[in-house]
């Protein structure tokens, strides 16, 4: 396949998107300066990615650091110091969404001379006072979270007694390299979970109070169409990938399924085109950020929370009507049967069940005694306040958490 190089979104100059070649060839073609690389621990353990980077980039690779889990503030400070000391000119991130998020924060920290925890905290308290990142950032995602298409990122403040996750506004990478082959190393369940997170972006866009289906002054029609297209592509491709695994026996669909993986990745482009505009996301995203602080991986929260948030929001007639519109869209496109669920929340739960993914907080390893703190931290996230039913009280969040603690 020849290389495709284009803008991810036709009406926006950045980010650029490229695919079609093996990832080493892409890196060699597009990286010509001193590069600081952040690499997923899973990739470094199960592939030759580190030696490939060294061989491909040579002297331009000034450092390569592996990340084992979602970075906390103390880790990020060390990474900023290392990147500054190495005199890196380019940031390269290879891995899941948390790796890409970390790279965005490191890049932001470099341009704002961050050295202390207080400096890092100030980046979340006073976004207008920050200097934008100056280093080019190249991302090679291995999951479907879409972190590479948004300037927003989050990290856990391990200096706070409650360890909340805070949101940073940085800048999205300028170049995104898609590699279905490298993403095949990601365990299938993790990959599918991350795809449900992209589905969440589409659904929360279409249900947002700022959607053009609710107000002519809301979301741009192009964004709404992108959300529908993303939903259609993701439902279709995630199913095909799962079915390929099931039909082929153990291993099939993990190392193979390149066409479906590329299709999934391009579906994410549509999903992020939709939700990176003027739309305000809702509580599934907002509460999910705080589940990440207690160890829930990419997309796991979306598998569980999205249906519960739909059920919670359906008490408002306007949102219930909008939800029925999304359910009808899925039926009309042949993505779900007419009897596949009486409401959108049930349809989404059925889809997650079909993919064989977790459907309850208890399956994600969350204990009941953790819910209170999760609810309290969730109120700090702006997406809970922009939920179609604004979440301003802890009891509201607790209602949603309790609704999805066990399977329906």
Q: For 90-107, write each residue's pLDDT tens digit.
A: 999 999 999 999 999 999
User: Kind and range of the H or E element at 124?
Assistant: helix 117-125
How many Cβ atoms are within 10 Å of 50's Cβ, its own excluded? 17
User: Does the pLDDT at position 52 exceed 70?
Assistant: yes
Q: Measured between alpha carbons, how far is 275 from 277 in angstroms, rounded to an integer? A: 5
Domain ranges of the chain: 4-180, 187-403
The hierarchical CATH code for the domain 4-180 is: 3.40.50.1970
pLDDT of residue 213: 47
User: Kind and range of the H or E element at 24?
Assistant: helix 23-30
pLDDT of residue 279: 81
pLDDT of residue 297: 83
User: Does the pLDDT at position 110 exceed 90?
Assistant: yes
DSSP 98: H
Q: Token match 């204990």: residue? A: 367
- Mean pLDDT of all residues in 127-138: 88
Residue 26: pLDDT band (50, 70, 90) is very high
Q: Measured between alpha carbons, how far is 114 from 51 in angstroms, rounded to an integer? A: 31
Which residue did the predictor score with more confidence, 287 or 258? 287
Closest CA to 173 of 253, 100, 279, 262: 100
Task: Sheet with 175-177: list strands edge to edge.
Answer: 4-7, 16-19, 175-177, 137-141, 90-95, 35-40, 61-67
Which residue did the predictor score with more confidence, 329 or 278? 329
pLDDT of residue 128: 62
**Domain spanning 187-403, CATH architecture:** Up-down Bundle (1.20)
Instruction: Choose from 63-77, 116-130, 152-166 the range with maximum mean pLDDT.
Output: 63-77
What token pair was written down for 284?
A: 């599934």
pLDDT of residue 218: 52
How many Cβ atoms are within 10 Å of 276's Cβ, its own excluded? 21
- Kindly tell me the number of DSSP H helices and DSSP E strands found in the chain: 17, 9
Rounded to two decimals, the pTM is 0.92
Q: What are the residues whose beta carbons fall under 8 Å from the beta carbon of 129, sequence distance 6 or more? A: 122
Decide if 270 contacts 233 (C-beta within 8 A).
Answer: yes
Residue 275: pLDDT band (50, 70, 90) is confident
């Amino acid at each position: 396949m020849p290389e495709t190089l284009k803008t991810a979104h036709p009406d926006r100059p950045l980010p650029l998107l490229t695919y079609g070649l093996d990832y080493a060839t892409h890196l060699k073609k597009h990286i010509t300066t001193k590069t600081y690389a952040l690499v997923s621990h899973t990739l470094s353990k199960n592939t030759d990615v580190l030696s490939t980077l060294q061989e491909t980039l040579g002297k331009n690779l000034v450092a390569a650091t592996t990340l084992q889990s979602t970075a906390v503030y103390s880790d990020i400070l060390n990474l900023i110091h290392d990147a500054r000391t190495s005199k890196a000119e380019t940031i390269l991130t290879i891995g899941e969404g948390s790796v890409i998020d970390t790279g965005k924060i490191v890049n932001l920290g470099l341009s704002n001379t961050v050295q202390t925890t207080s400096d890092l905290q100030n980046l979340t308290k006073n976004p207008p006072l920050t200097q934008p990142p100056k280093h080019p950032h190249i991302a090679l995602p291995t999951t479907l979270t879409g972190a590479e298409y948004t300037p927003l990122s989050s990290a856990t403040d391990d200096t706070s007694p409650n360890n909340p996750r805070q949101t940073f506004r940085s800048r999205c990478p300028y170049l995104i390299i898609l590699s279905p082959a490298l993403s095949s190393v990601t365990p299938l369940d993790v990959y599918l979970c991350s795809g449900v997170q992209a589905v969440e972006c589409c659904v929360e866009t279409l249900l947002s109070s700022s959607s053009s289906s609710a107000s002519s002054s809301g979301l741009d029609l192009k964004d709404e169409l992108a959300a529908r297209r993303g939903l259609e592509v993701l439902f279709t491709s995630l199913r095909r990938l799962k079915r390929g695994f099931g039909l082929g026996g153990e291993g099939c669909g993990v190392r193979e399924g390149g066409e479906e993986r590329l299709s999934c990745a391009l579906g994410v482009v549509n999903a992020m085109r939709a939700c990176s505009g003027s739309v305000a996301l809702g509580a599934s995203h907002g509460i999910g950020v705080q589940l990440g602080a207690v160890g829930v991986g990419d997309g796991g929260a979306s598998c569980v929370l999205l249906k519960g948030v739909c059920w919670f929001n359906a008490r408002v007639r306007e949102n219930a009507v909008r939800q029925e519109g999304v359910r009808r869209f899925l039926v009309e496109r042949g993505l779900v049967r007419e009897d596949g669920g009486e409401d959108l929340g049930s349809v989404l739960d059925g889809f997650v069940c079909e993919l064989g993914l977790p459907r309850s907080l208890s399956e994600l390893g969350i204990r009941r005694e953790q819910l209170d703190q999760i609810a309290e931290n969730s109120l700090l996230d702006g997406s809970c306040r922009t939920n179609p039913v604004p979440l301003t009280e802890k009891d509201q969040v607790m209602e949603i958490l309790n609704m999805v603690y066990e399977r329906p």
